[in-house]
Structure 1
Amino acid sequence: MKEKVLNFLYEKKEVSKKDIVSELGIDEKEFDKIIEKLKNYLKIHKDKYKLKNSHNLLLPSLIKSKLKTNYIGRNIYYFDIVDSTNLTAKKLAEKGEEEGTIVLAQVQTRGRGRENKEWISPKGGIWTSIILKPDIPAVNAPQITLMTAVAVAKTLKKLFKNLDVGIKWPNDVLIGNKKVCGILTESYSRNESLEYVIVGVGIDINVDINSFPIELQEGATSIKEELGKEVPLVDVLCEFLYEFEKVYEKFKAGKFQEILKEWRALSKTIGSYVEIRKKFGKRIRGEAVGVTKDGALILELDDGRLKKIFSGACIHLS
């Protein structure tokens, strides 16, 4: 019933106690108990009820009412606070949770990026992980990162047409030259057979960038920062899940080359002079001239040689 009240308020924006009681068919005593539990969500003036910051409301029932997918996101595990959506999704996948299930959180306390770097995950962002079980060779699992970046970029370009959205190899989505989304894909195999893949996606939507550590602020942005206003998280999430399912179906049908063509068209890395930072301090510089059919970055080094890069942090130098 709590979610019904919140959903009702989300649709109506502001209503009276009398309207809620009448519409939802609950008595006033039950209503008062529900309101006590929801008071942190509400602005209350006499008998008028309005949601606080409804743009950041993410409720499974609200999401499902707006979803256009067939199976991605139809099963939702929602948390106000969780350590990591990827870790939670992994535990669920190990127990046999079905493909398309998502884990969603308002806040992550131990969000992770590539190479176990901390991913700042305050309220106002979309922090979600998707359980996938594709019938593909384990060696092809990294292609899912590029596929996901295409889905995120297409979502943002569709919803916010004036923003300069692009992709930085291998797992970031940018607005201009600033990061707005990171992707962490983790695959798990047994006896060389791919069991499942967890796709973690973090999108800075209504996040205040000034709340980030100072060293991260210069290279990060959010939709709120770019537009100067907040947007409904639920609308962005549902559109992303829809785009993700479409591109994932194409991927499962063996059409990764079509997806890669889209990735190349959205890429901000190809044509840039970049530095690849590898483990143990190794650095490689060159012009990014393309991406292989497997998703490896092709660099033209300063001496003219071509080199394939399969992993590493990519820094745009020009």
Structure 2
Amino acid sequence: MSGQELSEVLSISRSAVWKHMNELKKSGYEVEAVTNRGYRIINVPEALSEDAIRWGLETKWLGSTLHYHPTVTSTQNLAHEFARDGAEHGTVVIASEQTKGKGRMKRYWDSKANVGLWFSTVLRPHSLEPKNATQITLVAAVALANVMKEYGIPVSIKWPNDLFIGDKKMAGILTEMQAEQDQIDYIIIGIGLNVNHEEADFGSAVLEHATSLKVYTQDHYNLNTLFKSIAHEFEVQYERFIEHGFKPIKSDWEGYAYKMGEWLTVRAQGEWNAKLIGIHEDGALKVVDEKGQEHLLYSAEILWS
């Protein structure tokens, strides 16, 4: 596309076009410039950047406000700061690296630079009651599983917030809420996804329990492209949830459920065996004991193997 045409379409000078092209190059774009013909983008960057994320992001509201940082302590903590300052619904905080990434129960989440997706989203579902906020975790899990299915990766969802390939964890979801007794102010949903990790990136202790898309497929993934796929699918599933309720999400979640129909060991008021049969409408795990009695589990310790 010629520099003159670009300047006319954008209502900027030819000199400004040239400056913008140089900025794109700094962001990792490969731009070919041919005299008397114009500019052509040959390759887009694989490393995360705000420009690369925005270009081709097919969402209506998720990511309209986007904060990209090369390094943060935690996208979750930063998203809370933005939310308290009035950040709009759908605001995304994404980083190439987290130095103090966290999962459920304040567990450390290893978030090495440039190998995974680490991001948090501000949601303001004012029509949702606080008691049902945990359903958002399950919505996100279904969205993430759907994207992995499109990539040909067989994943399962381990209740309440992990995605597995086989018996190894490849993604985690952390949902945190600020609410009054009957009104949600905001929800922060954080996703950590192991993408281009090599086995050596995990270390011997972690490798036994963790995996990545690259370890499983031996393929390399463009982080910008993968994020855009996840953002679009999450927006679709979130709107479906808000419009139609939890029932269709529940059905999809159970189709991906890890160890569905298998016997587990539950530690709650003693230790006992239970068979996983699904999830309840409020997000609790639904099991039956050896006597056939049904139980709903909200925070019990479960031994999955």
TM bracket, shorter-chain basis: 0.7 to 0.9
| 2-structure distance, mates of 1:244, 1:263 | 14
Shift, 1:283, TM fit: 5.2
Aligned partner of 2:282 in structure 1 is 294
For the residues of structure 1 that align with 2:271 and 2:108, how far apart are their CA atoms?
A: 22
Change (3 A) 1:313 1:224: farther
Amino acid at match of 1:153: A
Letter in 1 for 2:117: I
Work out which of the residue numbers 29, 38, 41 in structure 2 matches 1:10: 29
2-structure distance, mates of 1:150, 1:85: 21
* CA apart distance, 1:175: 1.4
* Structure 2: gaps spanning 5 or more residues: 1-19
Give the deviation of 1:274 after TM superposition: 2.2
**Quick one: which of 295, 299, 303 aligns to 1:311?**
299
Question: Secondary structure in 1 aligned to 2:118?
Answer: strand
Name stretches of at least 5 consecutive residues in structure 1 with no aligned partner.
25-49
1:84 aligns with 2:74: yes
2:116 is matched by which residue type in structure 1? G
- 2:248 aligned residue (247, 258, 270): 258
2:149 is the alignment partner of 1:157: yes
Contact 2:117–2:192 (Cα < 8 Å) also in 1: yes
For residue 19 of structure 1, report the CA deviation from its aligned partner: 5.9
Give, in whole Å, the separation in 2 of the partners of 1:19 and 1:226.
42
Local SS of the residue matching 2:29: helix
SS at match of 2:259: coil
Distance 1:233 1:273 in 2: 37
- Whole-Å separation in 2 of the counterparts to 1:226 and 1:282: 37
| 1:232-271 equivalences in 2 (<5 Å) | 232-271=222-261
Q: Structure 1 pair 247/209, CA: closer, same or farther in 2 (3 Å)? A: same
Deviation at 1:191, TM superposition (A): 4.3
2:116 aligns to what?
A: 125
Secondary structure at the counterpart of residue 210 of structure 1 = helix
Instruction: Give the CA deviation at 1:282.
Output: 6.6
> Structure 1 residue aligned with 2:130, among 138, 143, 163?
138
Give the equivalent residue in structure 2 for 1:206.
196
The corresponding residue for 2:64 is: 74
Counterpart in 2 of 1:227? 217
Query: Contact (CA 8 Å) 1:167, 1:269: kept in 2 or not?
Result: no
The one-letter code of the counterpart of 1:311 is S
- Per the alignment, residue 208 of structure 2 pairs with 218
Give the C-alpha shift of residue 227 in structure 1.
1.3
- Cα distance between partner residues in 2 of 1:282 and 1:111: 33
Residues 225/140 of structure 1: CA separation in 2 closer, same or farther (3 Å cut):
same
Deviation at 1:284, TM superposition (A): 5.0
What displacement does 1:211 show?
2.2
Partner of 2:174: 184
Higher mean C-alpha displacement, 303-312 vs 87-96? 303-312
The CA deviation at 1:220 is 1.0
Identity of aligned residues (%): 32
For 1:283 and 1:116, locate their aligned partners in 2 and report how far apart those are by CA, in whole Å: 25
- Deviation, 1:259, is 0.9
Give the ranges of 4+ consecutive aligned residues of structure 1 lying more than 3 Å apart after TM superposition.
9-12, 275-278, 281-285, 312-315
For residues 115 and 76 of structure 1, the distance between their equivalents in structure 2, rounded to whole angstroms, comes to: 27
Cα separation, 1, equivalents of 2:191 and 2:279: 22
| Deviation sequence 1:90-149 (CA, Å, 0-9, x none) | 000000000001000101111111111111111210000000000211001000000000
Give the letter for the 2:158 counterpart.
K
Secondary structure of 1:66's partner?
A: coil
Aligned to 1:148: 140
TM-score normalised by length of structure 1: 0.81
2: CA distance between counterparts of 1:214 and 1:83? 25
Amino acid in structure 2 at the alignment position of 1:307: H
Paired residues of 1:209 and 1:220 also in contact (CA < 8 A)? no
User: What secondary structure is seen at the aligned counterpart in 1 of 2:141?
Assistant: helix
CA positional deviation for 1:6: 4.0
Q: Quick one: distance in 2 between partners of 1:143 and 1:252?
A: 11
Q: How many residues align?
A: 280
**SS of alignment partner, residue 183 of structure 1:** strand
Cα drift, residue 187 of structure 1: 0.9
TM-score normalized by the length of structure 2: 0.84
Q: Secondary structure at the match of 1:126?
A: strand
8 Å contact kept, 1:3–1:61: no
Contact conserved, 1:85 with 1:127, CA < 8 A, in 2? Answer: yes
Moved more, 217-226 or 268-277: 268-277
